[in-house]
């Protein structure tokens, strides 16, 4: 089952990763930019599309695997992470990317995030965070700001939002970043770095919903309020500072790498493979498997 790792190297172009399917997203949706950034990042890395497994849940953004030439799995709502872990453990040679929205990842699938982080498989998790449920037409999401009036919170929401950056950092994720399609070269670089990080890597992408999103969450506002972490002199190996910066999620639009573990520990999938190799000599012939139960 092992797949030889080959690279297209310099020959790969973003087009190699673009499928014939036409996205169903609204004109102006931030996800178009995310898709372009992803094509560019994949081309820069150069793995052939068939060695990439791209797993998503349900939602506008979860349509994304179908727009690539990778093996895609547009699964059920909230379960992309468990499915992706099964894929990666089945074949650690694959490059496994997981994508979805804020509702998919932090509401219905929220219970899986902590476990994906602590297991630390070599996965890349891209969340297109638009603070609203777009596919179902404008309901409150787990990252909607408190007080937001939506069709399901017509009098304004009474809940604090989830903070995806603080959440993943607090569980010990080795790579946490935030980007926006309002700043494409930066987003492309973040996705590329996340894929190259050997372990669980999370990128929160502020991806505007043009149809149901708020004014201050649109591209124009992003461009105006962008606060690149590099411009703050942030050192991505400083985990405590990263936690501190993450607290301003929802208030400041920090972009860049919040935290990157300078000494990544071995991944779960690598440890699994090591254990399999160590124990392989103990394998019994299939015809002898029942001998352990034999009464003599």
**Binding-site ranges for another protein (CB under 8 A):** 1, 3, 21, 48-53, 55, 58, 63, 65-66, 69-76, 79, 81-91, 93-94, 111-112, 114-115, 272, 275-276, 278-280, 282-284, 286-287, 289-290, 292-296
> Which CB atom, from 17 or from 249, has the smaller least distance to another protein?
17
Q: How far is the CB of 272 from another protein (least distance, A)?
A: 5
- Find the shortest distance in angstroms from Cβ 88 to another protein: 8
CB 35 within 8 A of CB 4: no
133 versus 249: smaller Cβ distance to another protein: 133
Q: Report the SS3 class of residue 132.
A: coil
Question: Which of 59, 236 has the CB closer to another protein?
Answer: 59
Half-sphere exposure for 181 (CA within 13 Å, toward CB): 25
Distance of closest approach, residue 65 Cβ to another protein, in angstroms: 6
Closest approach of another protein to the CB of residue 82, in Å:
3
The Cα angle at residue 234 between residues 106 and 257, in degrees rounded to 5:
40
- Of the pair 46, 145, the CB lying nearest another protein is at 46
Instruction: Tell me how far, at minimum, the Cβ of 39 lies from another protein, in Å.
Output: 15
Q: Which residue spans within 58-94 are E strands per DSSP?
A: 71-74
- Among 144, 188, 162, 154, which Cα is nearest to 35's? 188
Q: In angstroms, rounded to a whole number, what is the distance separating the alpha carbons of residues 29 and 33?
A: 8
How many whole angstroms from its chain centre is CA 134? 18
Distances (CA, A) of 113 to 91, 216, 296: 21, 27, 50
CB of 233 to another protein, least distance (A): 38
For another protein, give the closer residue by CB, 155 or 292: 292
Decide whether 58 or 209 has the Cβ nearer to another protein.
Answer: 58
Per DSSP, 33 falls in state: H
């Amino acid at each position: 089952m092992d797949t030889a790792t080959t690279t297209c190297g310099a020959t790969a172009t973003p087009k190699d990763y673009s499928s014939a399917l036409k996205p169903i997203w609204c004109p102006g949706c931030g996800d178009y930019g995310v898709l372009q950034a992803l094509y560019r990042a994949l081309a820069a890395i150069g793995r052939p599309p068939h060695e990439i497994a791209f797993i998503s849940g349900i939602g506008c953004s979860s349509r994304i695997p179908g727009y690539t030439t990778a093996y895609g799995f547009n699964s059920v709502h909230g379960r992309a992470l468990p499915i992706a872990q099964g894929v990666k453990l089945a074949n650690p040679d694959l490059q496994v990317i997981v994508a979805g929205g804020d509702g998919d990842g932090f509401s219905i699938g929220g219970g899986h995030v902590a476990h994906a982080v602590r297991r630390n498989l070599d996965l890349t998790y891209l969340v297109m965070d638009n603070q609203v449920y777009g596919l179902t037409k404008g309901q409150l999401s787990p990252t909607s700001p408190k007080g937001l009036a939506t069709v399901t919170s017509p009098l304004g929401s009474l809940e604090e939002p989830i903070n995806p950056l603080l959440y993943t950092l607090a569980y010990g994720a080795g790579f946490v970043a935030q980007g926006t399609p309002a700043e494409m070269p930066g987003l492309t670089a973040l996705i590329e770095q996340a894929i190259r990080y050997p372990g669980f890597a999370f990128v929160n992408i502020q991806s505007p919903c043009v149809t149901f999103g708020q004014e201050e969450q649109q591209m124009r506002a992003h461009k105006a309020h962008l606060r690149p972490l590099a411009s703050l002199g942030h050192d991505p190996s400083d985990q405590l500072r990263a936690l501190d910066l993450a607290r301003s999620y929802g208030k400041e639009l920090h972009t860049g790498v919040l935290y990157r573990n300078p000494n990544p520990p071995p991944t779960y999938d690598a440890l699994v493979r090591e254990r399999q190799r160590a124990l392989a000599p103990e394998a019994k012939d299939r015809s002898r498997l029942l001998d352990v139960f034999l009464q003599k």
